[in-house]
Amino acid sequence: MGEHRMGRFRVWTPLLFSLILIIGMTLGFNLRDTLRNKRDIQAVIERNDRLEEMIDLINAKYVDSVNSNNLYSDAITGILSKLDPHTVYIPADQLESVNEDLEGGFFGIGVEFSIIRDTIQVTSVIENGPAEHAGVGIGDQLIKVNDSVVAGKQISSDKIMKLLKGKQHTKVFVTLRQPIAGTSRQIPIERDIVPVFSVEAGIMLDTATGFIKINRFSATTYEEFSKALKKLKAQGMKQLILDLRDNPGGYLDDATMIADELLDDNKLIVYTKGRHTQRMEYKADRHGMFEKGKLAVLVDESSASASEILAGAIQDWDRGVIIGRRTFGKGLVQEQYELEDGAALRLTIARYYTPSGRSIQRSFAKGKQAYEDDFTQRFENGELTGRDSFAQADTTHYYTSKHRLVYGGGGINPDIYVPYDTARLSAAFLNMIYSEELKDVLWDYFIRHRDSLKFSSVKDYDRKFAGEAALIDSYLASLKEGNRTAAQKMLKDTGHYQYFRLQIRAQLARLLFRDNGYYYINSQKDNVVLQALDVLNNGSYSRVVGG
């Protein structure tokens, strides 16, 4: 019996020793990793202590007084300067304003205003917002916020916003003046959520063509887009122009959800991967509202990040035509990490890749300054003004679903190139269009003629309004003699005169019909929109997308 047990022990002994060895090795590796982590943590502490020690020495011994916070910020800036251009440090006092645009709202009273001749004029009141419920109207002048006088002196828009914002359901007392009657009143307004809209316009340009303008991708963009798309379809939309020009990007999820409304059959929209992050794929996984029908996507050199992801997916699947100029070229994924002092680090953790495998990130190997000067370089080499030189700058070939050649490594190159209109959009001419004098003249006209500016729609306004000549005369009369002579000379050119006249109509339409009014009128002379309409309405669309 004993021999039998001893034999069984001999049989199991090697296995037992092996098991003990494995357990020992595992414990050893875990202990090594634990100690390594402790050493790493200790190293971090030591490095931080060195930074603290240096700043303490500077504060104690330096010949002049210094700001410790600035020293910390400069140290952080120095560290991040060795990384990519989109890894950034956001100080605590700037974090709230940085996040507001992306979150889609803030707590305030719900008005838009313009500072005209040192007076804050209410130019728009958010529908069903706190100000509307309190009786604030367009044209009211803001004189005081609580005890702070904000009229009759130089004041910035930022300062007014800080006075009007606050915690939800807190009250702010505003003193308003009615300019025509000359009466004043003080009213309490309870602050509440004020939306920051990212879909600027959703309108029908003609009986078949819808137009949606997205200025960024915030937490509410998909919801806004869906609402606009449903409205346009109900009005008979058969084809869509999606304007992503000057859109710097934002939340990836909202961009991919919009792509899902345009793509079918479980198609890949984008994927991300990085050294410490596994490949993550985003696919169209539900029935979209506009999977069929002609689609044109407008882009330019300021379309970045999420805009490029959406445009790249549309292009790679030959779902629509990309029109405009090469996009910015930002294909890096950032994740925001909150820091203990209330600041944040927006750290690049991965890269974006379009369905064909393109990385849209342009090179930053020559440093941040060269990276930031890219627009100037594009302008100087003629790419923005008349020559599509992207193919010569990047020879990496990729192919769309229908085997059309596309390029990677520097933004999304449009299928149809439309140059920057330098003749019409010269600096001197733009200064006239967006001058304080023209803004004042238009506002005065709007206030004086509000009762007669009654139109059933922006199309009705477009047909009937005929006050541009009088407005141009008022504008010229408001200028100093030297500026008036230069403006008159500029407007002798027929093209300049017609475009200036159109901009007057468009800016007045914005006061009457908000952004929908502006974009409807402005589209009549927008070369990129006109090109899109031409492509959608003739046989070139199917030739471009390979249909």
Close Cβ partners of 77 (under 8 Å, ≥ 6 residues apart): 89
Task: Please give the backbone phi and psi of residue 98, each rounded to the nearest 5 degrees, phi first.
Answer: -65, -40
Catalytic residue among 198, 218, 303, 305: 305
Q: Residue 248 and residue 327: Cα distance in Å, rounded?
A: 10
CA distances from 22 to 12, 17, 29, 31, 32 (A): 15, 9, 11, 14, 15
CA distances from 64 to 39, 71, 145, 328 (A): 37, 14, 40, 43
Q: Residue 488 and residue 526: Cα distance in Å, rounded?
A: 24
540 is catalytic: no
330 is catalytic: yes
Six token digits for residue 497:
């005169």
Q: Residue 258 and residue 87: Cα distance in Å, rounded?
A: 26
In single-letter form, the type of residue at position 293 comes to G
Q: What is the DSSP letter of 296?
A: E
List, in sequence order, the alpha helices (H) in 62-91.
68-80
Q: Residue 389 and residue 131: Cα distance in Å, rounded?
A: 51
Helix, strand, coil percentages, rounded to 5, for the chain: 45, 20, 35
Catalytic residue among 330, 356, 523, 526: 330
Q: Which long-range contacts (CB under 8 A, 24 or more apart) does 83-88 make?
A: 83/348, 84/332, 84/348, 84/364, 85/364, 85/368, 85/371, 85/372, 86/330, 86/332, 86/334, 86/346, 86/348, 87/334, 87/345, 87/346, 87/347, 87/348, 88/345, 88/346
Are residues 305 and 366 in contact, defined by beta-carbon separation less than 8 angstroms? no
Strand partners, 283: 268
Are residues 312 and 354 in contact, defined by beta-carbon separation less than 8 angstroms? yes
Catalytic residue among 316, 394, 415, 515: 316
Are residues 311 and 356 in contact, defined by beta-carbon separation less than 8 angstroms? no
542 is catalytic: no
Q: Residue 273 and residue 351: Cα distance in Å, rounded?
A: 6
Count each helix (H run) and each strand (E run) in the chain, helices first.
19, 21
**Closest-CA residue to 242 (of 295, 293, 197):** 295
Six token digits for residue 367:
């440093």
Q: Residue 341 and residue 324: Cα distance in Å, rounded?
A: 43
Residues tagged active-site? 305, 316, 330
